[in-house]
Structure 1
């Protein structure tokens, strides 16, 4: 049975808004004691924390939360952590740090070959964990510079995760933002239905074109001057969608 995703509480007002802009960190471990330890170590105001206690919950959380980094245990009750890493790597390059009691070279190589970015053997120090997280986040940002997209009245600042239309901020859902972000990073190019579905929702959704159509329609309602005659997000009939280039 999948466990619920837990988020750390954030205060009201400005503090809450600041919390929503913090890096999202997903902790995956089936041992409550380990999760309590990680919460205590990382609940420093630098991250927004989420957790999952088995592989299926981890995959669901990775798709729903879009974490900026994942701490992944290998010994999960429903599937091996290496399998979780492989599945996430089918559609995401989020940094993944393995936290495991398995200390053999074969285990390390297997996890890293599956797509993990780093490997820490339990027990480990809080200082080392925090350092590894900083390095992984820094490397991720260096590898993926965040551009600003501008076209007519639409502006999307990927670094600030902000969407503006005629200078006014547009409120979009996390999924709508990730969809727009994918289109922005491929502006001017046609993205097929399956490419978008795989990147945003995962390989299990590659045939669910209705999910994509609904989100495109909702996004157009928010950014298009005339949603019935789209200017920014155009449809390539039978193929996919294209975001008008700058």
Structure 2
């Protein structure tokens, strides 16, 4: 599952794009500035970066792309309200892989991200995932077991989507906290374990000997699906 990091201080736009791309089968993380971007890159594997030109914190997108290109960084699509030809050329010459002026159509952004994945030889994200007798529909946020819909509350579904969009990756409690948007305190940290326990009761035949949602001692949790289907 491709992971996209959106670096934009416009929180409303970033959340809108996150919701849209997750429905299309991507896993999405958010960063509001360059410092947060570097923390996300250090914290986990990122496949694509959507980077806004105008950012707070002293470094704009052009400065950040130069730093990214000095390292082994994933492909970058730059967003900018500066849409004239000269600005587009500056953006492309700085090292970005693609450039999209604001305002833009979300479907065009999706098409460009898929094109960047194809250039890497990566498969496009799947809108659903099969594991055992279950099928999770990312777009409709629904879980089916042997064709029958299962009842999950919003917190259970959100946690399942986080794991399913990042299969076979060890997710620490800190990572889950960041992705789920919780507060960095012990109460939320413990609630992750509670939510995992509840989710196991839904998707595991034997929650004490899980098959899909595994514990990595001292590291976190890992989701192991049987297979992914289109």
Match of residue 120 from structure 2: 140
In structure 2, do the counterparts of structure 1 residues 108 and 59 end up closer, same or farther at CA, with 3 Å as the change threshold? farther
Match of residue 58 from structure 1: 37
Distance across 2 between alignment mates of 1:66 and 1:115: 21
> Does the alignment pair 1:92 with 2:91?
no
C-alpha deviation, 1:95, in angstroms: 1.1
Aligned partner (choices 23, 40, 44) of residue 23 of structure 2: 44
Query: Following TM superposition, where does structure 1 have runs of at least 4 consecutive aligned residues deviating by more than 4 angstroms?
Result: 171-174
C-alpha deviation, 1:135, in angstroms: 0.3
Distance across 2 between alignment mates of 1:46 and 1:95: 18
Contact 1:59 1:84 in 2 (8 A): no
- Aligned to 1:43, what secondary structure does the other structure show? helix
In structure 2, stretches of 5+ residues that fail to align are: 123-167, 172-230
In structure 1, stretches of 5+ residues that fail to align are: 1-21, 143-170, 175-246
C-alpha deviation, 1:63, in angstroms: 2.8
C-alpha deviation, 1:127, in angstroms: 1.3
Map of 1:11-160 to 2, 5 A cutoff? 22-44=1-23, 46-78=25-57, 79-141=59-121
Distance across 2 between alignment mates of 1:46 and 1:66: 16
C-alpha deviation, 1:82, in angstroms: 0.7
In structure 2, do the counterparts of structure 1 residues 120 and 172 end up closer, same or farther at CA, with 3 Å as the change threshold? closer
Match of residue 160 from structure 1: none
Please, what TM-score do these two structures have when normalized by structure 2?
Answer: 0.50
- Aligned to 2:96, what secondary structure does the other structure show? coil
C-alpha deviation, 1:106, in angstroms: 2.6
CA deviations on 1:62-90 (whole Å, 9 max, x unpaired) are 23223100000011011111111111111
Distance across 1 between alignment mates of 2:169 and 2:36: 25
Contact 2:21 2:27 in 1 (8 A): no
Distance across 1 between alignment mates of 2:81 and 2:26: 25
In structure 2, do the counterparts of structure 1 residues 84 and 131 end up closer, same or farther at CA, with 3 Å as the change threshold? same
Please, what TM-score do these two structures have when normalized by structure 1?
Answer: 0.47
Q: Aligned pair count?
A: 125
C-alpha deviation, 1:42, in angstroms: 0.7
